[in-house]
Structure 1
Amino acid sequence: MTNTTTATTIPLSLSQRVIAGAVALLLGLVLLGGTGFAGDFRLHNGAHDTRHAMGFPCH
């Protein structure tokens, strides 16, 4: 006999989806800007290739 579990999903309203999208966008911009303009060379070099692959100028 095999036990199976099912996940229950709760539908989100339009306003909740917009808020989640805005938070994700803001977090992404903070991370991208934080590594793009980091003063510490280790942070800068650690994300260097990824930034250039996405077209983000860093120097």
Structure 2
Amino acid sequence: MSIISSTDHSSTASTTTTLSQRLTAAVCASILGACLVYFAGFSHIEAVHNAAHDTRHSSAFPCH
């Protein structure tokens, strides 16, 4: 009886990002977040209003 030993060599891909790429991603995420908050906060669509109603009031965000 022989035991075959094998080693698993997994390669990890590492990516480097520059400061400008990270700043661009942060700015884009901030703009998207602000748009979502604005949309949910001032939407006249009843389903959106009801879905976010309690959260808005608990964080003192006006909706009426």
TM-score category of the 2 structures, normalised to the smaller one: 0.7 to 0.9
Structure 1 portions without partners, runs of 5+: none
- Percent identity for Structure 1 against Structure 2: 41
TM-score of the aligned structures, taking structure 1 as reference length: 0.77
- In the alignment, the residues of structure 1 paired with residue 45 and residue 9 of structure 2 have an alpha-carbon distance, to the nearest angstrom, of 49
Per the TM alignment, residue 40 of structure 1 is displaced from its structure 2 partner at its CA by: 1.0
Q: Larger C-alpha radius of gyration, 1 or 2?
A: 2
- In the alignment, the residues of structure 2 paired with residue 6 and residue 57 of structure 1 have an alpha-carbon distance, to the nearest angstrom, of 51
| Cross-structure match for 1:47 | 52
Letter in 1 for 2:25: A
**Aligned partner (choices 35, 41, 44) of residue 36 of structure 1:** 41
Letter in 2 for 1:33: Y
Change (3 A) 1:14 1:51: same
Equivalent residues, number: 59
Change (3 A) 1:54 1:17: farther
